[in-house]
Amino acid sequence: MNRLTGFCLLFVLLELMAFLPASTPIRLRPEPLPFTPKEFYIAAVTDQRTNRGPIARLALTAGSPMEAIDLEGGVTTAIQQFINQSLKQDRKLRPLAMRVTECRLTETAAGNRVEGKFTFGVAFDLLGKNDFGDATTTRLTEYRSSANYTRPISQTTVIEPTIRQAIIASLRNINEYMKRQAGQNEKLATGITVNFKEDTRITTDDTVFYNPDRPLTWDDFRAVPRKGSHYAAEVFTSFAYDGNSTVTNGVITLNLTLKAYMLKESSWVHDVARTAYTLNHEQRHFDITKIIVERFKRRIQPDSLSIDDYNSIVQYQFIEAFRDMNRMQKQYDEETRHGQDPLAQERWNLKIDAELRTFGVKK
């Protein structure tokens, strides 16, 4: 056999192979993809299909039963290998997990023609770690597609490209999603900052917000004195916060509006106790509430917050601050004997003023 004859025979054999039954596993052909992710890389592929058997049931010869065919190495290995060989990946970027939720190819044969349908579904998750070093998973987005084809029963070359293009389309989809969302989606944020605002409005309704320029007056004590109470007066003070967040250029800004307040309709005084000394004692209760708010602010700093769960941390610190407020208010009343010990009262006056000055509340 001369060299030319041998080459012709080889060419004929290669051509015939495209029409031979695909009884062997389907091998995904790698190809350089026309995009390079700048926000992520695919760190893991997992198979989460309901039925994890072979992905395809193919009509390979006329009159024969459908044959079960799988991807070479199985779904996880085949797709991970295809991605590693086809997609440029920078492992310094965000790690994503690709969960295959559907990968099914079904065919029906009519004579020598075969109708095929391929259905592909994936979900993408962000991988990370919490403050304790435990692995975390954050769901991002899902993708689903289907493709139909018609082929001669003796030719199977359309099958692999159909599967491959569906995988490529899912990668292109997550790439576009990440480009759109990286700068504005909290799940993808890379940093956090806190912006505090205090409600110091001077109003005429039931609520008095803490404002150094607006001390309490006896006109603020509007409730009926409690029957049987041995106290000269009682002031109702507390604090609260409202919050929202925005994301700009991948950084979360946590906006917290803090409110130290007193309720007029819940505060009272006996007429005989309307003195400057007693009013100062009640004002100091309000000052203590303000001190607790300032301490709370210092607990809520970027280095103490987790990007993944900052709301829970803020709520926990709020509860802790509320407990501290109750303890400090109780200690203040016990040590001053509800204002009846002038020396103890003066010590607390100095203590409270000193702490207010450290926070810049009092000059």
Q: Left (φ > 0), alpha (ψ -120 to 50) or beta: where does 63 sit?
A: left
Domain parsing of the chain, residue ranges: 19-182, 191-358
Q: Above pLDDT 70, what percent of the chain?
A: 94
- The model's confidence at residue 68, banded by pLDDT at 50, 70 and 90, is very high
Question: Mean per-residue pLDDT for 290-307?
Answer: 95
Both tokens of 279, joined, read 């009013």
- At 104-125, the pLDDT tens digits run 999 999 889 999 999 999 999 9
Looking at the domain covering 19-182, what would its CATH class be?
alpha beta
User: What is the predicted pLDDT for the residue at 229?
Assistant: 86
Burial of 50-74, coded b for 16+ CB within 10 Å and e otherwise, reads eeeebbbbbbbeeeeeebebbbeee
Pick from 2, 6, 79, 13: nearest CA to 48: 79
The span from the CA of 126 to the CA of 289, in Å, is: 41
User: What is the predicted pLDDT for the residue at 29?
Assistant: 97
The span from the CA of 38 to the CA of 88, in Å, is: 10
pLDDT for residue 156 is more than 70: yes
The span from the CA of 238 to the CA of 206, in Å, is: 14
Between residues 297 and 4, the one the model is more confident about: 297
For the stretch 332-338, contacts whose Cβ atoms lie closer than 8 Å and that sit 24 or more positions apart, written own/partner, are: 332/284, 332/285, 332/288, 336/281, 338/231, 338/232, 338/281
- At 336-360, the pLDDT tens digits run 999 999 999 999 999 999 999 999 9
Q: Above pLDDT 90, what percent of the chain?
A: 85
| Max mean pLDDT range (51-55, 133-137, 224-228) | 51-55
The span from the CA of 73 to the CA of 120, in Å, is: 18
- The model's confidence at residue 134, banded by pLDDT at 50, 70 and 90, is confident
pLDDT for residue 1 is more than 70: no
User: What is the predicted pLDDT for the residue at 23?
Assistant: 63
User: What is the predicted pLDDT for the residue at 36?
Assistant: 97
pLDDT for residue 5 is more than 50: no
User: What is the predicted pLDDT for the residue at 340?
Assistant: 96
User: What is the predicted pLDDT for the residue at 25?
Assistant: 95
The span from the CA of 229 to the CA of 215, in Å, is: 25
